[in-house]
Structure 1
Amino acid sequence: MIEHIRTNNVQRFTGFGALYDESRPTAPQELIQILTAYLGKKPQSVVDVGCGTGLSSFLWLNNAERIIGVEPSDDMRAVATAKWESMNKPASIQFVNALSHELELPADSADIVTCSQSFHWMEPQSTLREFARVLRPGGVFAAYDCDWPPVINWEIEQQYMKLTSLGDQRAVELAPKQEQAHKWNKDEHLKQIQSSGLFRYAREIVFHNWESCDWVRYANLALSQGSLQSAIKLGASELESEAAAFRQFVEEAFAGEERRILFGYRMRIGIV
């Protein structure tokens, strides 16, 4: 059962790596400052699990001696690798194909393990056991997520949520039960860390970051949500007209200007 879920969750991210990479935010420098403070030194090794297109891995360049981005989706990892090649292949970073519960890394080899927008796609207890295995004593695990939608105004946000909720609904309706992805509750992340018995300290940290955004990017943030993409791939053609209407609404609301939007982050950490 779990293996079917893992396979379905990986396949969910097929076919929209470029859209994801162009739209999604990179976490602010506060993330590095917080995790480095908990570690007490500059990390030698950071393992970024479920790294997608590498947005959360490249963040650590010049802030860690070695970065390993772990991503089982070939499409997502290909985008990360292409970016790495365009940067003249920095030796401090690499991208590998592995699953969260089978990292194929030595024990006690990582200072920090991160999951950016990804821990809810992983079976938590087997994953946490693997993370605790690869972390050195005193090492830090951090799962961090954005709150969706990013803050701008209530009318745009309302339309965003309407579109993505419809995508959620249609993805469930159209996918055979045995092929549906499974998302673990993000609100349970801290409890999962605490109840695992693997971490001597755990807590939640909330922070935020303002970014400039044009209408195209804001619209694409909604369109990069996996449920919407899954529903369209499964044949929910009516979502294409809904998406087009949302894009037009956002374009008119932005009126040709860039706007400041706020990304809220929730991070749950555990110290081994």
Structure 2
Amino acid sequence: MDLSLNAERFSGNKYVNLYNRFRPSPPKEILQLSLNYLGKTKAASIIDLGCGTGISTKSWTPYAKKITGIEPSNEMIEIAIDNTNSPNIKYISGYASNIPVPSNNADIVTCSQSFHWMEPKSTLKEVNRVLKKEGVFVLYDIIWPPSVNCEYENAYNELFDNITSITQNINQQISNKWDKKKHLLNIKNSNYFSFIKETFFHKTDILSTEQLIGIALSQGGLEALLKLGFSENEIGLNNFIKKVKKMKITPYKKITYNYRAIFAIK
């Protein structure tokens, strides 16, 4: 299995910078609940798998003495390093199926918007190896699209239904991706954890047309088709942007990111 395809999906200076600009940081309540399960106000060591440009990694700064971001995309790590000033954070190139840190190393291992890009059995084996006894594994994913109004969400779903259809008809493999709906079952079936819980969170930000378009452009599936040479018209991107620009501003001018999170204690 060639997992480098997944790293290549998140490459290109323009795309990586766009991703870093428009992807939200996680709700602090997810981080704080992880520490509640750990039984500490501050972790000694946290590993952030598939850390991307460090958006989630930096969010852990107040909650850990040492944080290590692991990411296979060199371009994403470069952005992460450039945008991180915290002395307790470092970034390492690597894959979750072969985490480049010693065993029994981390109080918390986290995956933000990334576990579906990792082969689950080998990744969970590695998570178990690097986690300390009673350590916490937490993964969290945004449920796309974010909550805005039915006009935007229908336009978003139409765009990505078309992206899915095009992708399924391509006669080449462009990535390896695992079903998010099976995350909980995969974690349970690993038998590495004594406690597992799935729950939900949200984070609300100020709404802007630029953000609504940027969120769509930050999705790897759309970017993969652009890299393969599909036009914005073929993908449906131009039509989506036109609809968003014509959309009426919502009364409360808010965008809400809904998160599905899973906590597992070793």
TM-score by length of 1: 0.92
The verdict on how the C-alpha distance between 1:241 and 1:32 changes in structure 2, with shifts beyond 3 A counting, is closer
Matched, 1:161 2:157: yes
CA distance in 2, matches of 1:125, 1:193: 9
Structure 1 gap segments, 5+ residues each: none
- Partner letter of residue 74 of structure 1? N
Matched, 1:231 2:225: yes
Match of 1:52 in 2: 52
Match of 1:139 in 2: 135
CA distance in 2, matches of 1:68, 1:59: 12
Counterpart among 76, 100, 106 of residue 102 in structure 2: 106
Structure 2 gap segments, 5+ residues each: none
Matched, 1:9 2:3: no
- Partner letter of residue 82 of structure 1? D
Over residues 159-212 of structure 1, what are the superposed CA-to-partner deviations in whole Å (9 max), with x where a residue is unaligned?
0111122222223434x43x3212111111111111111111111011111111
Match of 1:263 in 2: 257
CA distance in 2, matches of 1:125, 1:141: 14
Match of 1:253 in 2: 247
Higher alpha-carbon deviation: 235-244 or 45-54: 235-244
| Mapped contact 1:210–1:263 kept (Cα < 8 A) | yes
CA drift of 1:254 comes to 4.5
The verdict on how the C-alpha distance between 1:18 and 1:256 changes in structure 2, with shifts beyond 3 A counting, is farther
| Mapped contact 2:163–2:235 kept (Cα < 8 A) | no
Counterpart among 82, 91, 98 of residue 95 in structure 1: 91
RMSD: 1.7
CA distance in 2, matches of 1:238, 1:24: 21
User: What are the equivalent positions in structure 2 for 1:196-211 lying under 5 Å apart?
Assistant: 196-211=190-205
Higher alpha-carbon deviation: 243-252 or 147-156: 243-252
Match of 1:61 in 2: 61
The verdict on how the C-alpha distance between 1:123 and 1:218 changes in structure 2, with shifts beyond 3 A counting, is same
CA distance in 1, matches of 2:103, 2:120: 19
User: What are the equivalent positions in structure 2 for 1:22-37 lying under 5 Å apart?
Assistant: 22-37=21-36
The verdict on how the C-alpha distance between 1:231 and 1:239 changes in structure 2, with shifts beyond 3 A counting, is farther
CA distance in 1, matches of 2:20, 2:251: 22
| Mapped contact 1:27–1:56 kept (Cα < 8 A) | yes
- Partner letter of residue 55 of structure 2? L
| Mapped contact 2:111–2:140 kept (Cα < 8 A) | yes
What percent identity do the matched residue pairs reach?
A: 38
Match of 1:150 in 2: 146
What SS does the corresponding residue of 1:221 show, helix, strand or coil? Answer: helix
CA distance in 2, matches of 1:257, 1:98: 45
